[in-house]
Structure 1
Amino acid sequence: MNFVAIDVETAIGKRWSICQIGLAIVENGEITQTFSKLVQPPQNEYAIGNINVHGITPDMTANAQVFSEVWDEIYPLLEGKRLVAHNASFDINCLHQALEFYNRPIPVMECDCTYLRTGYKLTEICNAYEIDLINHHDATCDAVACANVYLKLMRGITPDYSKIKPRSEKSGSFFTPEGHEHLCGDVLRPDLNNADCNSPFYAKKVVFTGVLNSIDRKEAADLVKKLGADIDTSITKRTNFVITGSAPGPSKMQKIEQLNAQGCDIRLVFEEEFLRMCNGC
C-alpha cells in the first residue's frame, strides 16, 4: 500500500496562501518518510485568525521559500502516487490555486479523502482509532495522523465510535439526529442587494450539514446570508460550499463525493475556516 498523505496550512482566507506543507510518505503500508516545510505566502501576509489556528507568524516565514520553489522540491515525492488528505477538497484545492497563482501546470493526480470516508473531524476519528494527534494544525503532524487513519481504513479496521461525542448545537448533550436544526423561511431567500459583494460567499450556493459547536445553525445561516449566500437545504450540482460540523449527514457526504467525481467543484468548509471566511480573515 503506497500513498502520500498531505496537509497544508494557509496564511489568510485565500487558498493559494499556503504557509506550511506537511507530507507523510507511505510505502508497503508503513510511513517511511515525513516532510515539513514552512512556505512564504505572497507578500508574507497573514490574518490573525489563521495565526490563532496554526501559530505560524510572518517572522517564521520571512526567509522561507515561496510555494513554487517548495513545489519543485516535493513534486518528485508526489508524482505517480495516490494523494490522501483529511478534507481533500480543501488541501488539494489549495495546491491547485497555489499552482495557478504561480503559473504552474496542475498535474492529474489520484486523490482520496479520509474525511469523506469517515464523516468525522481529524481529532474525532483519531480518538476513535486511538491515534496520537500531538500537535493538531501542524501540517506534518496532521499528515501523519491522516496517513495512520487511512491505513486503518484500508485494512478494514472499524473505529470505536463510542469515543466520539459530538454535541448538539444548543446544549451540551450528546448529538442525536433531532439535534440538527432545520433551516426554513426567510433565511433561505438570498438578498444580494444588501450583501457584501466582495465576500467569498456572494451569489454562491451554500448548504449546512452536521452540528456546529461555536455557533448555532440559524445564526450561522443569518451570518452567511448577509454575505450574499444563497442557502439551500440539499446538495445539487449547483452547490458551491458545504459548511460542515460534527456528525455530518452521511447522505450529503456521499452526494458530495459523487458530484465531485462527475466534475463538480463542491468545497467542504469546516467550522473554523467558515468563521474565518465570514470575518474576512
Structure 2
Amino acid sequence: MLDDQSAAETLPPAHSSGPAWPTEYPDGYAVVDVETTGLARDDRIVSAAVYRLDARGDVIDHWYTPVNPQRDPGPTWIHGLTSEMLADAPLFPEIAGEFAERLEGRVLVAHNAVFDWSMIAREYARARLVAPVRQRLCTIALSKELELPLPNHRLESLAAHYGVVQRRAHHALDDARVLAEAFRPSLHLAARGGIRLPLLACTPLTEWTDSVTPAGPAGGSRARSAGWRPSRRRPACPYPNPGRYEPGGPLVQGMRVAISGDTSIDRELLEDRAVEAGLHVSGSVSRLTSLLVTNDPDSGTSKVARARAYGTPVVDEAAFTQLLRDVAPAPER
C-alpha cells in the first residue's frame, strides 16, 4: 500500500508530440518530496516519495516510503506522521538502496530543491553512502525563468496555475504527484521557448560525524549529528536586499533577517538554515531589516523595540521555519 509502506507502481507513460526537443535537456527526472522532523542540519526524514519521469516529463512510475527517524517526528500537525505510525517503518539505511535506484541517472526535481537535496544528502552521509545525484532543478527557479503569473511561489499556487488538484498537502507522495503534474507543462513551455533549464550541481556531503544519545520516541538509538565543521564566519549574502517581508507572502533570497531571544532549534543551526536558503542573517535590527524572528514579541529586548519603532514585520520561530521551506529566488538584477 502506497500510503503505509514502501511501494512502487508502474504507470504507462503518456507520450507527447511537438516541436524538436532541446538536445541539451536531461534524459530523465526524479521528482522528489521529503517530509522531515524539522529544518536543522540534524533533523531527519520521516517520509520520502519519488516520481520518475522520462525526458519529456511523462510519468514512468512512483514510489513512497515512511522512514523511522529514530527521534521525535517533529511537526506531526504538518506531515501527519506520529511516533506510533513510524515505530515499525524502515530506517533510512534500509531504504537507501531503493531510493538511490530511483534517483540514479536523473535530475532531482523539487520545490525549493536546496532543502530536499540537503536533507537527502545528509541522510546518505549518516549512512556512510552517497546519493547518486549530480544535478538538481528547483521548480521555483523554473517558474521564475518562465515568468509564470503566480501570486507567490508556493506549491499550491503552481498547482492552481496548471489546474492540478492537491488531495493531501504535506503528504510526500501527493506533494510529489502534484509537483510532477505541474512540472511537465513547465518543462514543455521551457522547451518551446528554448529556455535553458536552471540546473545546479549536487555536491555529496562527506564530512558527517555522529554521536549517539538516548532513544527517541520513534524507537531505537537516536543518532544525533555532531554537525558539520563550517567556519562560524559566514560569507556575505550574494543577493541584494529586496526589501521587507510581506506578511502572507514568501521570503525572498537576500532578505535581511534578525533573530531575538531563545529558539527551540539551536540558534546557529537556525541561522545556518537561513543562510543556506539565501537570506542575510543580521545581528541587529535597522531600517533595512526585512524580518524579525522572535518567540517573545512582547519582550523588551533592543531588537524587538527597534522592530516596533521601524515597523519591521515580526514572526515566531515556527512560522519562520515553515517560510524557510519555500524561499523565493532573488529577483533578477
Letter in 2 for 1:9: E
Letter in 2 for 1:152: P
Change (3 A) 1:183 1:22: closer
Q: Which has the larger radius of gyration?
A: 2
TM-score, with length taken from structure 1? 0.61
Q: C-alpha root-mean-square deviation of aligned residues, in Å?
A: 4.0
Question: Greater helix share, 1 or 2?
Answer: 1
Residue 3 of structure 1, aligned match among 25, 29, 33: 29
Q: Percent identity?
A: 21
Question: Does the aligned pair in 2 maintain the 1:126–1:145 contact within 8 Å?
Answer: yes
Moved over 6 A (4+): 194-197
- Matched residues in 2 for 1:246 and 1:108: separation? 22
Change (3 A) 1:146 1:92: same
Q: CA deviation at 1:254?
A: 5.5
Q: CA deviation at 1:244?
A: 5.7
Question: Does the aligned pair in 2 maintain the 1:4–1:25 contact within 8 Å?
Answer: yes
Deviates more, 1:56-65 or 1:25-34: 25-34
Question: Does the aligned pair in 2 maintain the 1:116–1:253 contact within 8 Å?
Answer: no
Residue 32 of structure 1 corresponds to which residue in structure 2?
A: 60
Deviates more, 1:77-86 or 1:102-111: 102-111
Letter in 2 for 1:221: L
Residue 134 of structure 1 corresponds to which residue in structure 2?
A: 167
Q: CA deviation at 1:72?
A: 1.0
Residue 125 of structure 1 corresponds to which residue in structure 2?
A: 158
The 5 A counterparts of 1:258-269 are: none
Q: CA deviation at 1:11?
A: 2.3
- Matched residues in 2 for 1:66 and 1:123: separation? 30
TM-score, with length taken from structure 2? 0.52
Q: CA deviation at 1:221?
A: 1.4
Residue 42 of structure 1 corresponds to which residue in structure 2?
A: 70
Residue 21 of structure 1 corresponds to which residue in structure 2?
A: 48
Question: Does the aligned pair in 1 maintain the 2:46–2:68 contact within 8 Å?
Answer: yes
The 5 A counterparts of 1:1-281 are: 2-14=28-40, 16-27=43-54, 29=56, 30-43=58-71, 45-47=72-74, 50-118=75-143, 120-156=153-189, 169=246, 198-199=266-267, 200-202=269-271, 205=275, 207=279, 220-223=291-294, 248=328, 252=330
Q: CA deviation at 1:111?
A: 1.1
- Matched residues in 2 for 1:113 and 1:183: separation? 19
SS of 2:115 mapped into structure 1 = helix
Q: CA deviation at 1:220?
A: 4.4
Return 5+ residue gaps in structure 2 as ranges: 1-26, 145-152, 193-244, 281-287, 304-320
Return 5+ residue gaps in structure 1 as ranges: 159-167, 209-216, 229-240, 256-281
